[in-house]
Structure 1
Amino acid sequence: MASAFLGLRTIIYAAPDLIYAKTWYSKILGVNPYFDEPFYVGFSVGGYELGLDPAAKPSDGSTITYWGVPNIEKAWEHLMSHGASVHSGIEEVGGDIKVASVKDPFGNVLGIIENPHFRAE
């Protein structure tokens, strides 16, 4: 029986200041949005979508979506240099897998993971 789930596709972050959020994420991701309207901004990143919603409220950080990175230390420095703040520092969680999380300037928790074993299908 085939799974009813196709895998992660989209994460939507609160963006109360949509213009600033769009600029900030464009800088840290190194891409411009493919969809840019006053009610939603969408970025295509490695086959996944990051959406910015000006009507959403930042969560308490209890749910974290992790974005894959090839080098967590470099990704961490990049995020910090663009105004992110520490949520949870870099830690190895076993099997050469490292995770960390930051808060973006809007209060959203953004996770990063360096996992040399994971291969997207």
Structure 2
Amino acid sequence: MENKQSPMLGLRTVVYMVEDLEKAKAWYAKAFNAQPYYDTPYYVGFNIGGYELGLHPKEKVQGTDNGTVQTYWGVEDIQKVYDILVEMGATKHEAPNNVGGDIVVASVYDPWKNIIGIIYNPEFKLPK
């Protein structure tokens, strides 16, 4: 079997969907003894040992429930990886979109309806 390098660079971000962003931010700040480095009304991000722990308001619109946890695999070329996953039978969950700075996220449903998130984040550095 040919040994090709995976387009997935490793896990980068875990996002918890929460009903009350302010209460969740306070709880996670205390639980992880950390303050958010990114804090907006639509997303709060903590740097925990070089990995992102994110909080996102849970969608309340019918048909848009995105569950309780979203994980993102790091990639270099998000559009290419997104297109490959769709060509392999995945279906669109969230098309690639810029979420601030140079950071781009996307997600697909695998054939079993699991959500696979991918992220291009040039600011992310692996812990040493």
Q: TM-score, structure 1 length as denominator?
A: 0.51
Partner of residue 67 from structure 1, selected from 52, 70, 73 = 73
Q: TM-score, normalised by structure 2?
A: 0.48
Which residue of structure 2 aligns with residue 85 of structure 1? 91
Deviation at 1:76, TM superposition (A): 0.7
The answer to whether 1:113 aligns with 2:113 is no
Once residues 82 and 47 of structure 1 are traced to their aligned partners in structure 2, the CA distance between those partners, rounded to angstroms, is: 20
SS at match of 1:65: strand
5+ long unaligned stretches in structure 1? 1-28, 32-44, 49-59
Please state how far the C-alpha of 1:61 moved relative to its aligned partner: 3.7
Runs of 4 or more, structure 1, over 4 Å off, are 45-48
Percent identical: 45
- 2:71 maps to a residue whose letter is T
Paired position in structure 1 for 2:107: 101
Q: Structure 1 pair 46/69, CA: closer, same or farther in 2 (3 Å)?
A: closer
Three-state SS of the structure 1 residue aligned to 2:93 is strand
C-alpha offsets along residues 30-69 of structure 1, whole Å, 9 cap, x if unaligned?
77xxxxxxxxxxxxx7566xxxxxxxxxxx6422100000
Larger Rg: 2
Aligned residues: 69
Equivalent AA in structure 2 for residue 78 of structure 1: I
Q: 2:76 & 2:93 partners in 1: Cα distance?
A: 20
- Computed over aligned residues only, the root mean square deviation of the Cα atoms, in angstroms, reads 2.3
List alignment gaps of at least 5 residues for structure 2. 12-64
The 3 A distance-change label for structure 1 pair 96 and 46 is closer
